[in-house]
Amino acid sequence: MKKRLVSSILCAAMVAATIAGCGSAAPETAATTAPATTVEETETPKADAPATDVGSEKLVVGFAQIGQESGWRDAETMSIQTYASEHTDTVELKFADAQQKQENQIKAIKSFIEQDVDVIGLAPVVETGWDQVFAEAQDAGIPIILLDRTADVDESLYATFIGSDFIEEGKEAARQMAELIGGKGKIVELEGTVGASAATDRKTGFDEEIAANYPDIEIVASQTGDFTRAQGKEVMESFLKSNPDIVGVYAHNDDMALGAIEAIKEAGLKPGEDIVTVSVDGVKGIFEAMVAGEANCTVECNPLLGPLFFETAAKLKNGESVEKWVKSVDGVFTSDIAADVIDSRAY
């Protein structure tokens, strides 16, 4: 395969107030685009004024996104596509939306290998099932960057993971929940997509923190809402019918929390008061809910990773070494400060 050199590295300013990526130990991949028989790829439009100069050859990157399961995911996609469109003299992006299907992501990766891209980026839908296609990329000399989710593969099969510590996000959510309900009561948990590293680790961190430090808090029900608002609402409706005395809900992302808030209101209860909410991501919708008094806390997970992603890809093309885990930093926002910061939210 061809291995091209670039004379200088992409310089990308990280988004101000970078917060949390989304990941943990083993990287998890994002899904690719997929009509039934083809993988849709989108090349970025020509920008009026490229911001950087990396030499005569462009950095060619293939990115396989999970899909559009949440506002958070849309913001990450926007960050990647916007950066590429603003640097068309130095970057060429081949983008695939997997529509929440692993098989579509695998098709996209194989297509990127055939096109001999310089670097492949992936936000894995689930953690397992990547060994063979990652090995194919390695044999072709194409490094893989895992973005915001991890994959359960040998570390030699990918170059780096860019994201945050999902387990710590879960632990912080548990501490916030305990403070909100006074260290006691029955709560429920809305889990993310089964097999996704974000769901697995956010559950591990939360459950372990509750068990270790808050003996008077009981998790009476825990079920997947698949990271979507619709499923979050549906599962919360079921929780309310079987557990009328719950005082809190922990959701692995804000979209499920927003769905749960709808269910709580339809049940004649006051979200944020009768039942408190703690969730993860930090999308603008949850800030709006906090300002309205219907949500209580979000542990932030920053999706605006485009600049760091392309900067890291350029280093890999140049043959430079990168850290195995490039961590971003999580912030925590509560309802008492939501109004002060909502206008600054970028997603």
- Are the beta carbons of 246 and 269 closer than 8 angstroms? no
Q: Are residues 82 and 184 in the same domain?
A: no
Q: Are residues 156 and 197 in the same domain?
A: no
Structure tokens at 127: 């953690």
Structure tokens at 25: 């130990």
DSSP 262-299: HHHHHTT--BTTTBEEEEEE--HHHHHHHHTTS--EEE
| DSSP structure class, residue 29 | P
- Are the beta carbons of 116 and 91 closer than 8 angstroms? no
pLDDT, position 12: 36
Residue 156 lies in a domain: yes
Residue 343 lies in a domain: no
Q: Which residue numbers in the chain have pLDDT < 70?
A: 1-56, 329
Q: Are residues 141 and 176 in the same domain?
A: no
Q: Are residues 265 and 176 in the same domain?
A: yes
Q: Are residues 121 and 238 in the same domain?
A: no
- Are the beta carbons of 191 and 227 closer than 8 angstroms? no
Residue 27 lies in a domain: no
Q: Are residues 215 and 233 in the same domain?
A: yes
Q: Are residues 89 and 121 in the same domain?
A: yes
DSSP 51-82: S----SSPEEEEEEE---SSHHHHHHHHHHHH
Residue 347 lies in a domain: no
Domain containing 185: what range?
A: 166-300
pLDDT, position 69: 79
Q: Are residues 68 and 122 in the same domain?
A: yes
Q: Are residues 198 and 314 in the same domain?
A: no
CATH code of the domain in which 98 resides: 3.40.50.2300
* Side chain identity at residue 251, one-letter code: A
Residue 182 lies in a domain: yes
Q: Are residues 54 and 156 in the same domain?
A: yes
Residue 131 lies in a domain: yes
Distance CA 274, CA 289 (A): 15
* Side chain identity at residue 170, one-letter code: G
Alpha helix positions (H), the chain:
71-85, 102-114, 131-139, 166-180, 197-213, 229-242, 254-266, 284-291, 306-317, 335-341
pLDDT, position 66: 95
Residue 29 lies in a domain: no
Place of tokens 């997947």: 224
Give the global pTM. 0.77
Q: Are residues 230 and 280 in the same domain?
A: yes
Q: Are residues 174 and 277 in the same domain?
A: yes
pLDDT, position 192: 97
Residue 3 lies in a domain: no
CA distance readout (Å), 324 to 68, 147, 319: 27, 12, 15
Q: Is 191 helix (H, G, I), strand (E, B) or coil?
A: strand
- Are the beta carbons of 28 and 124 closer than 8 angstroms? yes
Distance CA 4, CA 1 (A): 10
pLDDT, position 327: 84
